[in-house]
Amino acid sequence: MLIQWSEEDNCFLVAFPDFPGQRWRTHGNTYELAVANGIEALESLIIAYEAVGDPLPEPTGSRVR
């Protein structure tokens, strides 16, 4: 989950870079609200992928080895 402040939108924007599609998935007026909305959006993405039988995207971020 990537959370970034947007001066233009005057809120925190939330993205999931590993999932294709729109760049920003949700937002929040506070960082805490953006995190909560991000978790909800991620859960919805996972449910949608599972519903159609698509595999989840492989993470591209840092990995523990």
Statement: residue 65 has pLDDT above 80: no
If you write DSSP's letter for every residue of the chain in order, what string do you get? -EEEEETTTTEEEEE-TTS-S-S--EEESSHHHHHHHHHHHHHHHHHHHHHHTPPPPPP-S----
pLDDT, tens digit, 9 for 90 and up, residues 23-43: 889 999 999 999 999 999 999
pTM, whole model, 2 decimals?
A: 0.83
- Read off the pLDDT band of 7 (50, 70, 90): very high
